[in-house]
């Protein structure tokens, strides 16, 4: 959108049938900070959020109280102030792109993935994309290439310098980095999310998945109970339940995306929720930096994990009444746009990351490291974000990591590869470490990174400059930052309360 606004012709490729990534095809309700309704995101991200609410008000019969609520949350989910059906997210994004699609400025190629890159010197000349259904190849030639793939797929194809997995403390000096040598295949778990609903008295039980016995008995070294359990090591909630119960955290409400009580009676027979829970995080292996057979094996195992969790819920999960199983839990493939009810694409928490001119470290953003001083201030800021360092269980049977942060900025240096001149990262594949990826990987922050990258590419083409020339020149940097501000990107946080109250409030919100 940013590059199109600047008058550029854009070809955008999408691996699935839906544009939107985490917001749609991965079926992950937005993870946001507590001030998102007032500030702390770009103008266009706010347009998206407003567009989702407007879509429900215009097209879905809401109950009067919900229709009039200024901050409508159609799903009523706990994880976010705006939980919604992913199909609505797709519709709103398509509307936002419509002017550029209809005018011919934007071409979207769906169902394709990058397969090859041609380079000369420090520039990418062309990228070949392959249609996943037909095998047909299309060569894309452009002045600039932005990698917004979930796993940073363009980086190895283009010969870019990049990092995967865990850096060593010797390399980054981060207090919570692992000692010893780097572990490039130790990555955050990914999740095959699924959409479910529940109706008492209904029987939607599926057949036993082939890997159910394995997952039913699975217990990682860092877990005190089996994976399929209502107990979990969580800083606030020690026990979970499927449905709302006194003193127990409801996993159904956690990522609920449709609350039937918010709509006119009879509009929705059931409420709908997304299963992206601790019980279906997959940490047995990564989806990239391994051969295709191993990648497919891990993807299939992750799908089996989610289906096995569903079977456990339907047949074996302990109920408060002393019984077992909730037969009325059923998959909702209509919500995910798939035949099996699993999301079109797995939820990826960690990507390949460029070796950048500047890399954001734990010391720049963690509350513990900053000791009440606020985050490191970056003169080359191109946006802001806030979220805890939230690292889920990792491959290699390593536990996750949770650290408080302070509201931070996104430095332009983290978008500049150390060598290639016309490649820009456009999501979580920028200059972050394994640890700081844990707080820069969330919806509004990735949107900000991608939007800034689009403006940077277009502005540099107009100025006939390589992107790194912007950061190295104070006057040019100021001009570019002024453009970002005019276009609705916030480059610094307003005055906020103490860091302690910030993080207490964030935990309360979450």
pLDDT in tens, the chain (510 residues): 999 999 999 999 999 999 999 999 999 999 999 999 999 999 999 999 999 999 999 999 999 999 999 999 999 999 999 999 999 999 999 999 999 999 999 999 999 999 999 999 999 999 999 999 999 999 999 999 999 999 999 999 999 999 999 999 999 999 999 999 999 999 999 999 999 999 999 999 999 999 999 999 999 888 888 999 998 766 555 678 999 876 688 999 999 999 999 999 999 999 999 999 999 999 999 999 999 999 999 999 999 999 999 999 999 999 999 999 999 999 999 999 999 999 999 999 999 999 999 999 999 999 999 999 999 999 999 999 999 999 999 998 899 999 999 999 999 999 999 999 999 999 999 999 999 999 999 999 999 999 999 999 999 999 999 999 999 999 999 999 999 999 999 999 998 765 444 444 444 333
Please report the domains of the chain, with CATH numbers, ordered by start residue. 1-169+349-487 (3.50.50), 190-348 (no CATH)
pTM: 0.95
Q: In this predicted structure, what is the pLDDT of residue 248? A: 82
Helix (H, G, I), strand (E, B) or coil at 257: strand
What are the backbone dihedrals phi and psi of residue 499, each rounded to the nearest 5 degrees, phi first? Answer: -60, -35
* HSE value, Cβ hemisphere, 13 Å, CA-based, for 140: 25
Contact 441, 478 (CB under 8 A): no
Task: For the chain, give the mean pLDDT.
Answer: 95
Q: In this predicted structure, what is the pLDDT of residue 234? A: 60
Contact 128, 137 (CB under 8 A): yes
Instruction: List b or e across 490-502, with b for residues whose CB sees 16 or more CB atoms inside 10 angstroms.
Output: bbebeeeeebeeb
* 106-110 and 10-14 beta bridge pairing: parallel
DSSP 222: T
Q: Report residue 30 as tokens.
A: 């937005």
Beta strands in 246-403 (DSSP E): 249-250, 256-258, 272-275, 281-282, 329-331, 353-354, 381-385, 389-391, 401-403
For residue 349, the surrounding DSSP H or E stretch is none
Handedness of CA 369, 375, 378, 384 (dihedral sign): positive
Q: In this predicted structure, what is the pLDDT of residue 124? A: 98
* Bridge partners of residue 194, in order along the sequence: 275, 342
- Round to whole Å and give the CA distance between 376 and 371: 11
- How many angstroms separate the Cα of 380 from the Cα of each of 36, 406, 410, 415, 493? 23, 18, 8, 11, 14
* Bridge partners of residue 120, in order along the sequence: 123
* Residues with Cβ within 8 Å of residue 472, at least 6 apart in sequence: none
User: How far from the centroid of its chain's Cα atoms is residue 353's Cα?
Assistant: 15
- How many angstroms separate the Cα of 284 from the Cα of each of 224, 304, 306? 18, 13, 14
Q: Report residue 211 as tokens.
A: 């890997």
User: How many other C-beta atoms lie within 10 A of the C-beta of residue 25?
Assistant: 27
End-to-end CA distance of the chain: 30
Q: In this predicted structure, what is the pLDDT of residue 495? A: 86
């Amino acid at each position: 959108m940013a590059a199109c606004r600047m008058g550029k012709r854009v070809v955008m490729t999408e691996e699935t049938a839906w544009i939107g990534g985490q917001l749609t095809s991965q079926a992950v309700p937005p993870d946001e900070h507590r001030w998102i309704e007032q500030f702390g995101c770009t103008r266009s991200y706010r347009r998206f959020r407003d567009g989702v609410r407007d879509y429900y008000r215009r097209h879905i019969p809401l109950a009067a109280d919900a229709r009039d609520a200024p901050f409508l949350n159609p799903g009523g989910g706990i994880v976010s102030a705006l939980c919604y059906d992913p199909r609505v997210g797709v519709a709103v994004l398509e509307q936002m792109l419509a002017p550029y699609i209809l005018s011919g400025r934007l071409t979207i190629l769906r169902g394709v993935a990058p397969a090859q890159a041609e380079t000369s010197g420090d520039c990418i000349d062309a990228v070949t994309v392959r249609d996943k259904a037909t095998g047909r190849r299309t060569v894309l030639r452009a002045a600039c290439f932005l990698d917004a793939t979930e796993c940073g797929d363009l980086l190895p194809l283009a010969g870019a310098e990049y990092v995967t997995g865990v850096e060593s403390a010797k390399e980054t000096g981060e207090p919570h980095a692992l000692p010893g040598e780097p572990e490039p295949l130790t990555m955050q778990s990914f999740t095959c999310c699924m959409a479910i609903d529940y109706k008492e008295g209904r029987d939607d039980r599926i057949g036993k998945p082939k890997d159910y016995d394995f997952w039913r008995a699975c217990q990682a070294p860092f877990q005190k109970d089996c994976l399929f359990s209502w107990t979990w090591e969580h800083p606030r909630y020690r026990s979970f339940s499927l449905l709302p119960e006194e003193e127990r955290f409801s996993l159904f409400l956690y990522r609920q995306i449709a609350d039937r009580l918010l709509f006119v009676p009879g509009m929705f027979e059931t409420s709908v929720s997304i299963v992206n829970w601790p019980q279906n995080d997959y940490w047995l292996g990564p989806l990239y930096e391994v051969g295709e057979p191993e990648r497919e094996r891990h993807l299939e195992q992750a799908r089996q994990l989610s289906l096995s969790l569903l079977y456990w819920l339907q047949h074996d999960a302990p109920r408060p009444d002393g019984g077992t199983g909730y037969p009325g839990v059923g998959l909702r493939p209509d919500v995910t746009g798939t035949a099996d009810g699993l999301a079109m694409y797995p939820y990826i928490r960690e990507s390949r990351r460029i070796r950048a001119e500047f890399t954001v470290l734990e010391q720049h953003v963690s509350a513990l490291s900053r000791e009440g001083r606020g985050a490191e201030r970056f003169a080359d800021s191109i946006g802001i974000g806030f979220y805890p360092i939230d690292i889920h269980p990792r491959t290699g049977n390593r536990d996750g990591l949770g650290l408080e942060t302070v509201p931070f900025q996104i430095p332009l240096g983290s978008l500049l590869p150390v060598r290639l001149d016309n490649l820009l990262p456009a999501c979580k594949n920028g200059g972050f470490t394994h640890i700081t990826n844990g707080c820069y990987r969330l919806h509004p922050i990735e949107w900000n990174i991608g939007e800034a990258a689009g403006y940077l590419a277009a502005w540099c083409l107009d100025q006939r400059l390589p992107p790194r020339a912007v950061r190295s020149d104070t006057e040019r940097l100021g001009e570019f930052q002024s453009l970002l501000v005019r276009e609705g990107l916030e480059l610094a946080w307003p005055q906020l309360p103490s860091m302690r109250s910030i993080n207490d409030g964030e935990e309360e919100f979450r």
